[in-house]
Amino acid sequence: FEAYPRGALRTIREIRQLRKSRRVKAIVIEINSPGGTVGSVQEICHEIKLAQKAGKKVVASVADMAFSGGYYIASACDKIVANPGSLTGSIGVIIAAPDLEKLFNTIGIKFNVIKSGKLKDIAAYWRDMTDEERNLLQTLIMDCYQQFVTAVSKGRNIPIDKLLPLADGRIFSGTQALDNHLIDSLGTLDDAINLAAKLAGIKGKPNIIRPRVEPFERFFRFLDAKFGKTPSLRDMVMGECDSPVQYRANLGSAQAAYAYPTTSQQ
């Protein structure tokens, strides 16, 4: 039984391995993510903090995007480096629950539901959401949101009252994020590597240990280079997002996510 998406589990395991290695003085995490589920994001952040406690310097490098949960993870690092055109922010929490009641009524599908309590099928896709359910989910959302802004405030050393105006879900370019102290500097992945080496006190050119690339990932990288990116298929196989089968299985249950609203969760 996997508690978190496979992409998150892979990241957690890699950080853990690097934390335990005596050869590793610093870790650079390249982030290119629209966000993720609350639990998986916090688990990755926990592993980052363990690495820091073990004396490793951790630097985040933002590629195309680090939205919501992606930024949550970045904020746990010692420093954040992003390209001027990188997109980040989207600080917030979202639950999206489809309502297919009218569609099912039109095509003549009826659900017989037997449940132990009135809230067991909260946010069920076969009926409209009740006011009680909306209020309960809103309370859940705000609790997760408070955890989010508290973590960012602590990680970035930004007072809560200064952070809240920036934490309404809006996105920032790299230059805007720098102006608002959401990142530390503008630069590339190589710049992030050099910064991590400097923070760790490494003299000269650092010896880079790259994570092992799985065979499927190598295959899809080849397709990306040959035909352009194929994110939907690649992400489905590599576990970066839920497959259609998993999505159908989860339609009946609400799941909070630190995610950019127009993209699927991690």
Give CA–CA dist 96/216, Å, rounded. 30
- Would the pLDDT of 260 be above 90? no
- Would the pLDDT of 256 be above 60? no
Hey, which of 28-37, 169-178, 243-252 has the most confident mean pLDDT? 169-178
User: Which residues are part of the catalytic machinery?
Assistant: 68, 120
Give CA–CA dist 133/119, Å, rounded. 7
- pLDDT bracket for residue 221 (50, 70, 90): low
Confirm if 266 and 9 have CB atoms less than 8 A apart. no
- Would the pLDDT of 206 be above 90? no
Q: What is the pLDDT of residue 236?
A: 37
Comparison of pLDDT for 98 and 252, the residue scoring more? 98
Count of Cβ atoms closer than 10 Å to residue 97 Cβ: 17
The DSSP secondary-structure symbol of 94 reads B
At 40-89, the pLDDT tens digits run: 999 999 999 999 999 999 999 999 999 999 999 999 999 999 999 999 99
Q: What is the pLDDT of residue 246?
A: 32
- pLDDT bracket for residue 226 (50, 70, 90): low
Average pLDDT of the chain to the nearest whole number = 83
Q: Find the radius of gyration of the CA atoms of the chain.
A: 20
Q: What is the pLDDT of residue 209?
A: 82
Phi-psi region of 86 (alpha: psi -120 to 50; beta: other; left: phi over 0): beta
* Average pLDDT for 135-158: 96
- Would the pLDDT of 136 be above 80? yes
All structural domains of the chain, each given as residue ranges with its CATH number in brackets, are 6-259 (3.90.226.10)
- pLDDT bracket for residue 251 (50, 70, 90): very low
Q: What is the pLDDT of residue 191?
A: 96
- pLDDT bracket for residue 252 (50, 70, 90): very low
- Would the pLDDT of 231 be above 50? no
Q: For residue 258, report the phi and psi dihedrals to the nearest 5 degrees.
A: -85, 85
Q: Which of 90, 37, 32 is nearest to 65 (CA)?
A: 32
Give CA–CA dist 3/134, Å, rounded. 26
